[in-house]
Amino acid sequence: MNPIIFLIPIIVGIAAQVSKAFLNKNWLTESKIHGRHLPRYGGMPSAHTAFAFSLATLAALAEGIGSMSFAIASALVILLLDDALRMRVYLSRHGEALAQLIKSQPPSAQQKFPPLERRLGHSLPEVVVGALVGIGLTIALFWLLGGRA
């Protein structure tokens, strides 16, 4: 196995995560408020989706769609899509409810709680763009690097 193949999904995931600073209004400034910079949930595009689709695309390019690697990567894509579109959206609702409860407390009590992420999940367009970034950037990097596994 070509070791550069291992790096392609990592490069794709990082590129998608870094692009959030340029594609999302107030994304970087909101990150600073919470003491974080790039590792944020939500936003355009979904970096997790880009990473998972990169793995599946790479498995298809390197070993074919009939391979065990592609089957495993596709199962990972399904699990990740469920997480991004359903589970984390559900958790976002909990975060919002907790934030409202904290806000109803006296200011001295509010200081005891850490800032909460209110947006953990992704919208369908964010996931679709993440998938397109994952597939497109993976194909480009794969062929740019010689098209060999």
- Is residue 38 over pLDDT 60? no
Runs of H (alpha helix) within 27-120: 27-33, 47-63, 68-82, 88-103, 107-110
Q: What is the mean pLDDT of residues 130-146?
A: 93
Q: What is the mean pLDDT of residues 12-29?
A: 76
Domain that holds residue 98: 3-144
Q: How many CB atoms lie within 10 A of CB 126?
A: 22
What pTM does this model have? 0.76
Is 109 part of any domain? yes
91-120 pLDDT per residue, tens: 777 777 877 888 888 887 777 777 766 666
Is 13 part of any domain? yes
Q: What is the mean pLDDT of residues 62-75?
A: 94
Is 149 part of any domain? no
Is 106 part of any domain? yes
pLDDT of 116 reads 67
Count: domains in the chain: 1
Is 73 part of any domain? yes
